[in-house]
């Protein structure tokens, strides 16, 4: 069997397995929130472009608002990314290099998780690799113009609409051209500028949206990257940033990757293939390395850098195996350990089933217990409505809880067009996408010549339709009292239920439910 056929069969089988498993766990916070975006399509959102929302909308339109419907594209994108990396590695080095790259990639925990959950990262890396591949094809045809130039611009642009970090690929393109003597002439040719022109067209939707919404994304990204803080050097944050990579890639795989890139650095910088791969990794890694001097970046933020680094590492270890066959056993151990870590990261119940008691909650618990908690909250809502004889609305203490409940409520009823099923607590601050959707603290224009009824709350801006109504407030911090801003907005707040979801006789989810009567809005 040829290596290429083996890769196709391996990825087909792996994708089939992933597709059968993606519906077996609850959605993560981000997935539930992005699903809410897909229900309210827009040119951009508070923190991201529209790519993930349109992707989830397309799959949920076919498969429904289910875990499978939300996550359908993740395994498909993972397979597509793997195939493109294989063909690029084969083109640059050999079939063997591509084969071992794909094996290592698909046992790394961070990539495996990305093939099971539908966030911006599966889309981002897919379009990053696609653009990297088409740019290589464009350079092969230089100095002749080819359509791979504008296609590369389109792929970078679509990636940008999924994750703004993908714009860094433009810098990689420029650096490759600048550091390769035979390609410097492209700065005087139309190919590069057709690439840039197509990319600029893709930036229009989020730019227009941000211009209309006080550049909310810019403020968010400054805060997210700690750029709103004074520069400082915090060695603990930097070590945390580096150390977490050993965990999410698995220690042996990341050590082997880092060793190979460092060992290949001098040689790679003298060859076009090496220059190409280095400059598609260094800018992104350097950016988040520098940001981590102040505050540790999340390990998925610089994941784009390790795609080209991975090709470089696979070629290095492929050569080492040929000259030192004994290394094979160490590589096999690294891959086996990575596979084991991936399995545990995706399903820590494997440890619990074996009788091992985890000392504290693990990350996988974020995708457990939401369906049960939402069903219990809905039951409380039904009981309270039957008791009071009126319809209540739902408020949650934070975005994550509001998004999960909105997805898992069987009755996703809303108070009006565009309203979310669950609101977050009113605030004058713009904190997330909920700030741009209809809110319960908004005042609507009163109809002309309408005579106010008793109990209506009017201002110069109009009336609040929620005034006088009862709400259920949901919080998950374990406190027995609602926060001060909820107390101030209602005549009374009473704890009526504490819902606890347990797994293996340990609590994984707890929420408190308060009945809040007679909403009267907060004073400005």
Q: Is 474 helix (H, G, I), strand (E, B) or coil?
A: strand
Torsion angles phi and psi, residue 410, rounded to 5:
-70, -40
Rounded distance between C-alpha atoms, residue 209 and residue 67, angstroms: 29
* 8 Å CB contact between 392 and 469: yes
Residue 508, pLDDT score? 84
Q: Is 36 helix (H, G, I), strand (E, B) or coil?
A: helix
Residue 79, pLDDT score? 98
Cβ-based burial of 194 (10 A; exposed 0-12, middle 13-18, buried ≥19): middle
Token pair recorded at residue 88:
């690029």
Instruction: Give whole-number Cα distances, 174 to 191, 284, 286, 296, in Å.
Output: 12, 14, 16, 28
Residue 382, pLDDT score? 95
- Mean pLDDT per 10-residue section of the chain, whose length is 524 residues: 93 97 93 97 95 98 97 98 98 94 95 94 98 97 94 98 97 96 94 97 97 89 72 84 91 92 82 93 94 88 94 92 86 91 79 64 78 94 94 94 96 93 90 92 70 52 86 87 89 91 83 94 70
Token pair recorded at residue 236:
């603990």
What's this model's pTM, rounded to 2 decimal places? 0.92
Torsion angles phi and psi, residue 354, rounded to 5:
-85, 5
Residue 368, pLDDT score? 85
* 8 Å CB contact between 268 and 172: no
Torsion angles phi and psi, residue 393, rounded to 5:
-110, 165
| Orientation of helix 73-92 relative to helix 51-63, angle to 10° | 120
């Amino acid at each position: 069997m040829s290596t290429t056929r083996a890769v196709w069969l391996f990825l087909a089988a792996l994708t089939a397995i992933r597709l059968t498993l993606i519906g077996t766990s609850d959605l993560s916070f981000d997935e539930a929130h992005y699903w809410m975006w897909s229900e309210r399509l827009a040119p951009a959102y508070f923190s991201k472009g529209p790519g993930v929302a349109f992707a989830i909308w397309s799959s949920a339109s076919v498969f429904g608002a289910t875990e499978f419907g939300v996550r359908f594209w993740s395994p498909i994108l993972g397979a597509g990314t793997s195939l493109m990396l294989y063909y690029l590695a084969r083109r640059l080095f050999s079939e063997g290099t591509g084969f071992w790259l794909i094996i290592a990639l698909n046992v790394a925990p961070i990539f495996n998780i990305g093939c099971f959950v539908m966030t911006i990262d599966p889309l981002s890396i897919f379009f990053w690799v696609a653009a990297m591949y088409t740019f290589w094809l464009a350079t092969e045809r230089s100095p002749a113009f080819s359509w791979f130039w504008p296609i590369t611009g389109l792929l970078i642009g679509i990636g940008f609409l999924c994750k703004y970090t993908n714009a860094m690929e433009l810098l990689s393109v420029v650096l490759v051209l600048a550091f390769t003597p035979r390609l410097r002439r492209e700065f005087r040719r139309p190919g590069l500028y057709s690439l840039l022109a197509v990319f600029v067209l893709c930036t229009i939707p989020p730019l227009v949206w941000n211009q209309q919404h006080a550049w909310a994304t810019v403020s968010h990204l400054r805060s997210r990257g700690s750029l709103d803080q004074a520069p400082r050097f915090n060695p603990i944050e930097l070590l945390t940033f580096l150390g977490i990579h050993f965990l999410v890639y698995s220690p042996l795989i990341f050590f082997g990757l880092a060793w190979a890139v460092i060992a290949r650095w001098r040689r790679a910088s003298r060859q076009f293939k090496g220059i190409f791969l280095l400059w598609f990794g260094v800018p992104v890694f350097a950016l988040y390395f520098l940001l981590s001097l102040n505050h540790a970046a999340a390990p998925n933020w610089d994941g784009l850098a390790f795609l080209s680094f991975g090709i470089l590492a696979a070629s290095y270890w492929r050569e080492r195996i040929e000259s030192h066959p004994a290394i094979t056993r160490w590589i096999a151990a690294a891959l086996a350990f990575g596979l084991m870590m991936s399995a545990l990261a995706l399903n820590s119940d494997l440890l619990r089933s074996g009788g091992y008691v985890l000392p504290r909650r693990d990350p996988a618990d974020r995708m457990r217990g939401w369906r049960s908690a939402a069903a219990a909250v809905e039951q409380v809502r039904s009981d309270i409505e039957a008791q009071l004889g009126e319809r209540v609305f739902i408020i949650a203490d934070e975005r994550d809880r509001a998004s999960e409940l909105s997805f898992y409520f069987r009755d996703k009823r809303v108070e009006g067009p565009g309203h979310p099923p669950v609101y977050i607590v009113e605030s004058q601050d713009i904190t997330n996408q909920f700030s741009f959707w209809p809110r319960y603290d908004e005042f609507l224009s009163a109809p002309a010549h309408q005579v106010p009824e008793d109990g209506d709350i009017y201002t110069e801006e109009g009336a609040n339709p929620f005034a006088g109504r009862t709400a259920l407030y949901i919080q998950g911090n374990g406190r027995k009292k609602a926060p001060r801003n909820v107390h101030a907005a209602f005549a009374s707040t009473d704890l009526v239920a504490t819902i606890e979801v347990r797994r293996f006789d340990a609590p994984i989810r707890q929420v408190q439910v308060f009945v809040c009567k007679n909403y009267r809005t907060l004073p400005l």
